Amino acid sequence: MGESLARMGHQLKLLRGGTAFFPAMIEAIDSGVHEVRLETYIFHFDGAGASIAAALERAAQRGLAVYLAMDGIGTPEVPLEWQQRFDAAGVLWHLFSPLGRWGLLKPPRWRRLHRKLCIVDARIAFCGGINILDDWYDPYFGSLDSPRFDFAVQVEGPLVADIQHVMSQFWRRLKRNRTERRASWLADIIVGRKSSGGTPNGPESVGAQAVLVLRDNLLNRTRIERAYRRAIGDARQEIVIANAYFLPAAKISRSLVHAARRGVRVRLLLQGRYENFMQFHASRPMLGALLAAGVEVHEYTAGFLHAKVAVVDRHWATVGSSNLDPLSLLLAREANVVVHDSAFAQELRECMEQAIDESSVRLDAKAYAQRPWRWRILDWIAFGLMQALLFLTGRRY
């Protein structure tokens, strides 16, 4: 599902944070009459998550087919109360690839379900970076002093059929036993290729141009990375990227450097708060080259940044689940919506620009180059550890 398949006819709504995302999703679920499908990395069953869970329960009680897939690391367990309520209502739920006792020692188990997708009645869909998790709470840090910075997009139009297809296909694969998965592997490839264009569910003569771009370990290994590289390579005026875990492959880093050197203003909005050792330190060795080339790096300090969005030349935009890091670009199932529409891109750009101007600190290239040796050593340890972990998976980055 590359950008060449982008089609007109989409009605798009940018949703900033859970305060906009969760009510929109609940309204869609409560208006459903046939089917609801939801995929998420984290499903936290308190606060806003409990409201989403209750909406799924109500839908199943009304007779809708309800399918829920959660990642086995992001959501290590479903509370017993909700297991019983889901089962009683008829919600079909599944934990994708739980690690188990020795899971971390098995590199194939590092492949995660990281995409965040929801579809109701093959009519309305949601895609973005927002987990089913309250904006003001973090599983590791507890209550937050400011809401998480993140986005999703609500979609009506032709690509809804693409989302319906990929979510239905994924659920079928989850439910097959190992023999059936092997026997149907080629059939899924053929079906996927035939169906990648989707079936329009609205007029294509009006509305925004958009396409669903996936990353998985079968047909779509590099689609999201290629979409970014193409947009960066075509940029003539401006690139604005907000990314929570930023450690891009060398080709993307070089593309950003080349863009800056040919006069494109490149701004990165990155996580400024220390979340974990790898997230904070592993990306540092490559920031120096970007800063030296004239790339602006702004660190978000108002709270936790979880967004995975970008705008190029105020017309191309993407909202999705994929970070520009090895986990997203090499190992995880991801989903982004790429949009070619000036109004949508400008709205997203204004949100990012406000965060850059009001809630971030710009890194100074000279001061960064002179940071303490202790920090540099930690940076290279984290970077080396990341490379070693990738070596264990058999992947190059």
Q: DSSP 3-state helix, strand, coil percentages of the chain (rounded to 5)?
A: 45, 25, 30
Of the residues 44, 298, 308, 315, only one is catalytic, namely: 308
Average the pLDDT over 159-177 and give the result: 91
pLDDT of the residue at 233: 97
Average the pLDDT over 113-136 and give the result: 97
Greater model confidence, 389 or 105:
389
pLDDT of the residue at 307: 97
Position 121 pLDDT exceeds 70: yes
Of the residues 121, 216, 325, 379, only one is catalytic, namely: 121
Position 393 pLDDT exceeds 80: no
Of the residues 306, 325, 341, 379, only one is catalytic, namely: 306
Of the residues 116, 165, 281, 315, only one is catalytic, namely: 116
Active site residue 138: no
Active site residue 30: no
Active site residue 313: yes
Active site residue 258: no
Of the residues 10, 44, 71, 114, only one is catalytic, namely: 114
Average the pLDDT over 353-372 and give the result: 93
pLDDT of the residue at 396: 60
Mean of the per-residue pLDDT values of the chain:
89
Which pLDDT band holds residue 331 (cuts at 50, 70, 90)? confident
Residue at 61: amino acid letter: Q
Residue 305 and residue 272 in contact, taking contact as beta carbons nearer than 8 Å: yes
How far is Cα 363 from Cα 375, in angstroms, rounded to an integer?
Answer: 15
The CATH number assigned to the domain with range 3-195 reads: 3.30.870.10
Average the pLDDT over 175-185 and give the result: 51
Per-residue CA distances from 78 to 81, 89, 104, 131 (Å): 8, 15, 20, 15
Q: Where are the domain boundaries for CATH 3.30.870.10 in the chain?
A: 3-195, 212-393
Q: What is the pTM of this model?
A: 0.90
Of the residues 13, 188, 313, 340, only one is catalytic, namely: 313
Is the domain defined by 212-393 classed in CATH 3.30.870.10? yes
Which pLDDT band holds residue 35 (cuts at 50, 70, 90)? very high
Going by C-beta distance under 8 Å and a sequence separation of 6 or more, which residues neighbour residue 382?
277, 278, 280, 281, 282, 284
Position 181 pLDDT exceeds 70: no
Position 203 pLDDT exceeds 70: no
Residue at 132: amino acid letter: I
Average the pLDDT over 19-31 and give the result: 98
Position 43 pLDDT exceeds 60: yes
Question: What does the pLDDT look like over 48-107, one tens digit per residue?
Answer: 999 999 999 999 999 999 999 999 999 999 999 999 999 999 999 999 998 876 656 566
Position 341 pLDDT exceeds 80: yes
- Quote the crossing angle between the two packed helices 250-261 and 284-292, to the nearest 10°: 20
Q: Minimum mean pLDDT among 169-183, 237-251, 298-312: which range? A: 169-183
